[in-house]
Amino acid sequence: MIAASPAVEAIVASEYEHGFVTEIESDTFPPGLDEGVVRAISARKGEPDFMLDYRLRAFRHWQTMATPKWAQVHYPAIDFQAISYFSAPRSKDGPKSLDEIDPVLLETYNKLGIPIEEQMALSGIAVDAVFDSVSVATTFRVKLAEAGVIFCAISEAVHDYPDLVRQHLGSVVPHTDNFYAALNAAVFSDGTFVYVPKGVRCPMELSTYFRINARNTGQFERTLIIAEADSYVSYLEGCTAPMRDENQLHAAVVELIAMDDAQINYSTVQNWYPGDAMGRGGIYNFVTKRGDCRGARSKISWTQVETGSAITWKYPSCLLRGDDSVGEFYSVAVTKGRQQADTGTKMIHLGRNTSSTIVSKGIAAGEGEQTYRGLVRIAAKAAGARNHTQCDSLLIGARCAAHTVPYIEVKNPTAQLEHEATTSKISDDQLFYCRSRGLTAEDAVAMIVNGFCKEVFKQLPMEFAVEAQKLLSISLEGAVG
């Protein structure tokens, strides 16, 4: 196959669609972080003492830590004193219904194409929209409540369900886990809380759209999903952020807990602003996501479609503690322009007959650089554990790169592991063939890329699979000239 070619080489960044800034009065802390700021965040939210204690413990621990350096990404040192740690739209009380929400906010969501109003009823999706640090709209809470499902902002859960929060928060990702997890625990401002009681199948897809708006605010959401025995929930998170010259930090923590026979599907469609073609601006996405298959036969499935961020650094992971529990990771990551992604998963097999599946599809265009980094660990007690890993990379052009770094640690001889990896390239021959049939080069790339990602897309709920395909085509628009 011919290596570089003029046709495939002409990679350019398509315009970022969601790069508008919402003019809205917000209540923003001055930049800087010390114990006083942590206390002020807690006070602003009227938190009970246990939360303040939790934050302070995390903050003190964070102060002893250094930023991690091991990922295959390059960026200037982040000045944590230059970031503001709290920003909220200015309004006295939280809105009670959609009518009370600032129309400017609603307009923002409309521009993002988020179906927050009536369409939602038709598609049967409940949306918890997070605008900067405060959750502003929660729909369908009533219907969910009838089923016994709790779906609310985590700041509300702290007040309304303190026992659940106290019991589970930090039980999957302790504040000591890593630098960004510690920071998040100290300063997280809001996020989503989901609780599905025993035996309940959540009656609708749950979905949160996050949006970073205010300038220089890091966003530190915290998500906690608890699926009690024999329950089921499917959750989708989607993200966009405005176009800015400076880089913004996003350091979220997501914790999932699945008890006996419970299943959690967690899907992410992420198109944070990736920065411009020169690598200016864009979101730094450093996220800790971990699912705990605590119960026997429980199952946690991560599906992610990542097209955005200047730097993505995340490894949605599964702790397979329960016997016969199942962990899955399906990922599509796109890097173009100067984007960097170091992403993958960790499957930690602790229980017997646990099994995990990893399907990673990496697409690199322009000068995009990406690394799949995956760990499969089979503990000594995990007899009969199985893993299947499939890692495929697709290169568009000759200046991009894809690396695969699998780590395998096996302490039990009965484990069965399979690993497959491929790298392919969209060739000029393929483009010419498609074009000679009447398709544009863009259509051709979209078609080949969608074919490449099919295995992952089919894991997404139908509506979002369509969305994800569209997103990929938009993101690779102009990827060939």
Positions touching another protein (CB under 8 A) are: 5-7, 424, 427-430, 432-440, 443, 447-448, 450-452, 454
One-letter amino acid identity for 227?
Answer: A
Q: How far apart are CB 15 and another protein at their closest, in Å?
A: 23
125-131 and 134-138 strand pairing: antiparallel
Q: How far apart are CB 430 and another protein at their closest, in Å?
A: 5
Asked whether 229 and 260 are in contact (CB, 8 A), the reply is yes
Q: Which residue, among 221, 268, 278, has the nearest Cα to 249 in the 3D structure?
A: 221
Q: Is 34 or 429 the residue whose CB approaches another protein more closely?
A: 429
One-letter amino acid identity for 119?
Answer: Q
| Alpha carbons 466 and 160: distance in angstroms, whole number | 36
Q: Is 33 or 396 the residue whose CB approaches another protein more closely?
A: 396
Q: Is 416 or 440 the residue whose CB approaches another protein more closely?
A: 440
255: exposed, middle or buried (Cβ count in 10 Å: 0-12, 13-18, 19+): buried
Q: How far apart are CB 448 and another protein at their closest, in Å?
A: 6
User: Which two tokens mark 339?
Assistant: 């984007």
Strand blocks (E) in 154-262? 191-196, 205-211, 222-227, 232-240, 247-250, 253-258
Sign of the Cα torsion 243, 246, 247, 249 reads: negative
Q: How far apart are CB 332 and another protein at their closest, in Å?
A: 12
Q: How far apart are CB 391 and another protein at their closest, in Å?
A: 15
Q: What are phi and psi of 260, to 5 degrees?
A: -45, 130
Q: Is 154 or 332 the residue whose CB approaches another protein more closely?
A: 332
Q: How far apart are CB 2 and another protein at their closest, in Å?
A: 9
Q: Is 204 or 448 the residue whose CB approaches another protein more closely?
A: 448
Q: Is 243 or 439 the residue whose CB approaches another protein more closely?
A: 439
| Alpha carbons 287 and 313: distance in angstroms, whole number | 7
Q: Is 100 or 429 the residue whose CB approaches another protein more closely?
A: 429
| Alpha carbons 380 and 417: distance in angstroms, whole number | 15
| Alpha carbons 46 and 80: distance in angstroms, whole number | 25
Q: How far apart are CB 454 and another protein at their closest, in Å?
A: 6
